[in-house]
Amino acid sequence: MDKLSEAELVNGFSKNKNNEKAVFNKAEDIFKLVLSIFVIMLHTIPMDLYNVATYAIIHMMQRTAVPFFFTITFYHFWSFYDEQKQLNLFIKKIKRLVTLYLFWQMLYLLIASYDWFYPTYFDFGMSKWYLIHVVLLGQFGILWYVHSVIVGGIASYFLVKLVRKKTIIIAVIIIGAIFLGIFDGWYGVITQHIPYAEKIINYYYNTFVTVRSGFTYGIVFSFVGIILRRESQWFNRWKHRDYLFLSILIILFISEGTLLHIQNSPREYGMFLSSVPLCILGYKFINTHNLMNLKIDSNKIRHTSSLIYFCHMIFIFIFERAFQFLTIYLNPLIFSLVKFFFTLLMSVILSIAIQEIANKPKLIKLIY
């Protein structure tokens, strides 16, 4: 059996009990491709271009991308939950994630070096502070996501394995992580009604920088993955009443995000209270509607979605430096749409090219 790649691992590639590659859910693969497009929209279309209606319908739809990516990743991360020799399997997955993280980190560092020598947009400098915060704390582009999976996976593994009276302690930790996570969207509410909250939250942000996402998204959704693995009978059965519950959660998610945006001036746009139950039930829907009869190349779609996610910031970086002059001729909305389609198109082309090269080792040998 061929060794699994890092990209396959992050996509949730696992092996079954016969040590064979598992069958993937085609609905999940298509859904991940949609989520990767949502991520590009988040990074290319500014929020101030939305009115209330378009924010509620379009932008909040995009906001589902990150929590759903975490849910899917951690569900597959814990594929070894009921297996023997869990520690060995856990270490192997963490090693692959670290390798994946460092590879893309070095690539983005090379790209960012353009600004070290030609300051136009970012001007971080080649400092120890920058290297520590970027490499160790994941503070660069979209790589905070992988960093958070590593932090959350390690933390939750040791909590599950080492903590006695797990149920109470883990419940407290999850509630605490959710509370820390909603500092983003609920910033205005918290600082208005809790004395000294603003100073405390600002200190927390400045101290932990991007690593805080591992304490929030990482821990919360890691335990979501464990719960879905443990409650497999519930997770694999969809009932008619679940449609009602899912509809209610979608409405709550849209309402929460939109009202907070209008009234409370969020510090950032991260976790919402309704995002956790929405992702649990939403992923259950995806899992039970697998579209196995659909004739598509699910494997290519799965890898394309991950590669789009990892490489799209490269093309945003290029666009903002090569085509910034277009802001003189285009209004902000048209400029943002051009940036979106440019980034999406180039990311898809690069993702397909990488897969084609990876499938042709003879071609790789010709390169060097």
Structure tokens at 63: 């906001």
Residue reference for tokens 């271009």: 49
**What is the model's pLDDT at position 118?**
54
Residue 145 pLDDT greater than 70, yes or no:
yes
Nearest to residue 145, comparing CAs of 239, 232, 77?
Answer: 77
Query: Each residue of 90-126: pLDDT tens digit?
Result: 888 999 898 888 888 888 877 766 665 554 444 444 4
Query: Which of 31-35, 231-235, 239-243, 274-278 comes out lowest in average pLDDT?
Result: 231-235
pLDDT band, very low/low/confident/very high, at 2 (cuts 50, 70, 90): very low
Find where tokens 């430096």 sit. 321
State pLDDT tens for residues 242-299.
999 999 999 999 998 888 888 766 555 667 888 899 999 999 999 888 777 777 778 8
Question: In this structure, are residues 261 and 168 in contact, taking their beta carbons and an 8 Å threshold?
Answer: no
Question: Could you give the residue ranges of the DSSP H alpha helices within the chain?
Answer: 6-10, 26-44, 52-54, 60-62, 65-77, 86-117, 128-131, 144-162, 166-181, 187-193, 197-208, 212-213, 219-230, 232-235, 240-263, 275-288, 298-322, 332-358, 361-367
Separation CA 174–CA 139 (nearest Å): 24
Which amino acid appears at position 217 of this protein? Y
Angle among Cα 137, 139, 144 to the nearest 5 degrees reads 80
113 close to 103: Cβ distance less than 8 angstroms: no
pLDDT in tens, 333-367: 999 999 999 999 999 999 998 888 877 655 544 44
Mean pLDDT, the chain, whole residue set = 78
Residues facing residue 15 across a β-bridge: 21
Using one digit for the tens of pLDDT, what is the confidence trace for 44-70? 988 888 888 888 889 889 999 989 999
Question: Is 70 exceeded by the pLDDT of residue 179?
Answer: yes
**Which residue bears the tokens 């670290």?**
98
CB atoms within 10 A of CB 245: 14
d(CA 68, CA 63): 9
pTM passes above 0.75: yes
